[in-house]
Amino acid sequence: MDVDSQTEAAHLLLDHVPIVDLARELSSNSASISAQPRTRVMHVSLGTQVGGMERLLVEFAKFTDRSRFELCFASLERRGNIAEEIEALHWPVYEFNKQPGLRPGIVIRLSRQMRKCHTQVVHTHNTSAFIYGVLAARLAGVSQIIHTRHGQRFGASSRETFLFRRLTSLVHRVACVSEDGRRLSEQEGVSPRKLCTILNGTDLRRFQFAGIKPYAPVI
């Protein structure tokens, strides 16, 4: 269709559909999209001290799509500096002050907080948080559970490995940050259908203060 034909077709369309009606329809569609409720996600970690996995919690807090997701964070042990960074980004952090050893009461308290926050998705990070988070989510009636395996689980006890294998049957997806983590998870009995790999990334803007260009070699 040439330009003149396209112009004529556009005029015919506007003759039959008043501009006011078009604007009203577009406005209605836009309002419908913006009115969609945000999905409430709770991130569960053992602590919020400074560390590699904990830094990723800050990345979640910083880069999540706020128009689609509403976050909160549960720190099973005492708060750390990471909690302050997350709260500075206007997401709440709940502290449970877990003591060493197996503490079943944490499951009850965590499930209550999930219900209070109307949590729809629970995202756990590493084994200890996974065990408490999955049990609390089931108790709170949260069906969508995601777990991220950040490391190799070095030093995990046989009991933790057993619980890890059994409880993964209750989760929707197990994300590993490396292919090694995925391979080890499969060896430990996690269903391959639930496994996926999402490689860790680095926000290059954090290092721009040194004047280093992206992809420049560093010695």
Residue scoring higher pLDDT (77 or 113): 113
Query: In this predicted structure, what is the pLDDT of residue 87?
Result: 95
Domain co-membership, 27 together with 103? no
- Confirm whether 214 is domain-assigned: no
Count up the domains in the chain and report the number: 2
Q: In 10 A of CB 127, how many CB atoms?
A: 22
- Confirm whether 212 is domain-assigned: no
CA gap 36, 67 in Å, rounded: 9
Query: In this predicted structure, what is the pLDDT of residue 63?
Result: 92
Domain co-membership, 19 together with 86? no
Give the pLDDT confidence of 2-34 residue by residue, as tens digits. 444 444 443 444 344 443 443 455 455 555 545
- Confirm whether 211 is domain-assigned: no
Contact 145, 124 (CB under 8 A): yes
- Confirm whether 207 is domain-assigned: no
Domain co-membership, 111 together with 189? yes
- Contacts within 8 Å (CB) and 24+ apart, 6-15: none
Which residue matches tokens 């999930």?
A: 114
- Confirm whether 16 is domain-assigned: yes
Domain co-membership, 78 together with 166? yes
The encoded tokens of residue 79 equal: 């708060």
Domain of 17, in residue numbers? 3-31
Give the pLDDT confidence of 42-60 residue by residue, as tens digits. 999 998 776 667 788 999 9
Which residue matches tokens 């990334």?
A: 201
Domain co-membership, 145 together with 42? yes
Which residue matches tokens 């108790």?
A: 139
With CA atoms as reference, report the closest residue to 64 among 99, 85, 81, 39. Answer: 39
Contact 41, 120 (CB under 8 A): yes
What's this model's pTM, rounded to 2 decimal places?
0.75
CA gap 24, 22 in Å, rounded: 5
Domain co-membership, 92 together with 190? yes
Residue scoring higher pLDDT (176 or 22): 176
Domain co-membership, 47 together with 11? no
- At residue 19, what is the residue type? I
- Confirm whether 121 is domain-assigned: yes
- Confirm whether 206 is domain-assigned: no
Q: In 10 A of CB 191, how many CB atoms?
A: 13
